[in-house]
A and B are shown apart, each in its own frame.
Chain A
Amino acid sequence: GNSVTQMEGPVTLSEEAFLTINCTYTATGYPSLFWYVQYPGEGLQLLLKATKADDKGSNKGFEATYRKETTSFHLEKGSVQVSDSAVYFCALGGSNYKLTFGKGTLLTVNP
């Protein structure tokens, strides 16, 4: 079946540091890949997505590239801000529109 493995947290960075959160997946077929974010006190929201190999999803300065050869979808941001502190979830979606999530990574950015 489908599964997602993402970097265990927590991750603590200083403002303006470079962020990478690793995510790898196992899936049959050609899944879509997602990053969701949950800010404190809020629900999950879609951050970015990629629907086929070599696609790059981007939003709010975050990027992730769908790498079929390494079955990865690592999240990156060049310069994090305090407001980026949140829990980040990598997920994949199959043909039935059911999402399979990773365990989540807590990011704390200090000023």
Chain B
Amino acid sequence: EAGVTQFPSHSVIEKGQTVTLRCDPISGHDNLYWYRRVMGKEIKFLLHFVKESKQDESGMPNNRFLAERTGGTYSTLKVQPAELEDSGVYFCASSRATGHFAAFFGQGTRLTVV
């Protein structure tokens, strides 16, 4: 069974540009989560999808961040325009059913905004 897959693994962009991160969850997992780790800090929750619906987006930092999960399969997280403080590692995780904490995370996308 393939794990949670994230693309790209690393992205370097200039301040003001747009970047789109992608997450492919484990097949059959309805729940998809995005988390972020800013350098030296904790991994923090961004949002939670159940199928294609946003269940909880309380962790999204501001309206420069847009997450989608069309069709309830893969998800994208777009940052537009990117700022320096957006640099960090973005993790995606999935779980099969509601009521289960995420057990498997992707390798993460390291975003560097210069």
Contacts and interface: CB of A to CB of B under 8 A. Distances in A.
Interface of A: 4, 32, 34, 36, 41-46, 49, 89, 91, 93, 96-104
Given A43-B3, A43-B91, A103-B40, A97 B98 contact: yes
Contacts of B40: 103
A95 to B, nearest CB: 10
B101 A45 contact: no
Contacts of A46: 101, 103-104
- The secondary-structure label for the interface of chain A is strand
A96 B48 CA distance: 10
Contacts of A42: 107
B35 interface: yes
A97 B104 contact: no
A66 to B, nearest CB: 15
Given A41-B107, A89-B43, A99 B102 contact: yes
Contact of A45 (B31, B43, B103): B103
Interface in B40-54: 40-45, 48
Contact of A99 (B101, B106, B107, B108): B101
B106 to A, nearest CB: 5
Given A43-B108, A103-B40, A98 B56 contact: yes
